[in-house]
Amino acid sequence: MLRIGMLTSGGDCQALNAAMRGVFKTVTRNSKEPVEFYGFDEGYKGLIYSHFRILTEEDFSNILTIGGTILGTSRVPFKTIREPDEKGVNKVEAMKDTYYKLQLNCLVVLGGNGSHKTANLLSEEGLNVISLPKTIDNDLWGTDMTFGFQSAVDIATRAIDEIHTTASSHGRVFIVEIMGHKVGWLPLNAGIAGGADIILLPEIPYDINKVIEVIEERSKSGHRFTILAVAEGAISKEDAALTKKQYKKKLAKSEYPSVSYELAAQILERTGREVRVTVPGHTQRGGAPCPYDRVFASRLGAEAGQLILNKEYGFMVAYRNREIVKAPLKEVAGNLKTVDPNASIIQEAKLLGISFGDE
């Protein structure tokens, strides 16, 4: 009997179900021995507290196009993973106990950066683990693409698209705040696709004077509006020069709910222009996966299933140079794939006339 556990951890995104379906179909169709799949409820919590159910073919029927996750998800921060819970439960030992109690041959983890740290920890503790790269931020090291990213780009782009007409009609400055706390792949791609005039990323601290210059230059040249695609983690050059402690202190005292609203106030004060802020928020993580993500997640799931059948453990299924490959968990965990300010996509965007507020 081949027994496989599966969980989805961290924030949800599109195509989680498609990826799990890919794993299930590949293993059940190609295994030479009977197979049992155990789904853990709410991510690592289900593994810790032994909350699970046996998954059957019916569970994976008609879920290719459904967003979210049929298993539910939660965040169990890696920084506290070795700390006992409020009842004194040793979380790491509890996860191992559940794994061995169910006599699992492998644990499949679908998650982002924090989830991969825990997946690697469990691998180092002796469990057979295979992971899949899930996150709308596309910030996992070791893979060119994560599933959920392209669907989120589509949603964020549509938000910018739909701002264009009202911005043009009223001659306003519009700020569209896009998810991306530490990494700017999502606002970068959506900003270019949506025709934003200014894109502000966490990796490229902005100068408010440069932002104002772009807005005023556009106005002088006859453009009635300006659209900014702003990462939720965008930061000014002044704030970037602060220590982490100083910056957190500043945020705690700030009257603004996010950087976008602070920018809006500064632009209004400096230019007198009407400014509106739009925050698509969690819509970027919701809804049905786009066709690209359905195909991509299915491919990743199939390759994960093949690794299980081959008894190759300790890897994340990754995508590099248009091919599905395997990346060692120990190399993935703890590393972040950020936007290089000198990357070709940044230079090409600048050639198109897009400003990043830095020059």
Active site residues: 137
For 61, the token pair is 């029927």
H or E, element range at 317: strand 315-320
Bridge partners of 320, per DSSP, are 323
Beta carbons within 8 Å of 241's beta carbon, 6+ residues apart: none
Q: What whole-number distance in Å separates Cα of residue 181 and Cα of residue 232?
A: 5
80-84 LR contacts (CB < 8 Å, sep 24+): 81/117, 81/118, 81/121
Of 216, 134, 208, 242, nearest in space to 358 by CA: 208
Q: What whole-number distance in Å separates Cα of residue 127 and Cα of residue 103?
A: 11
* Residue 339 φ then ψ, to 5°: -80, 125
Of 294, 298, 297, nearest in space to 65 by CA: 294
Residue 181's SS3 state is: coil
Q: What whole-number distance in Å separates Cα of residue 99 and Cα of residue 148?
A: 28
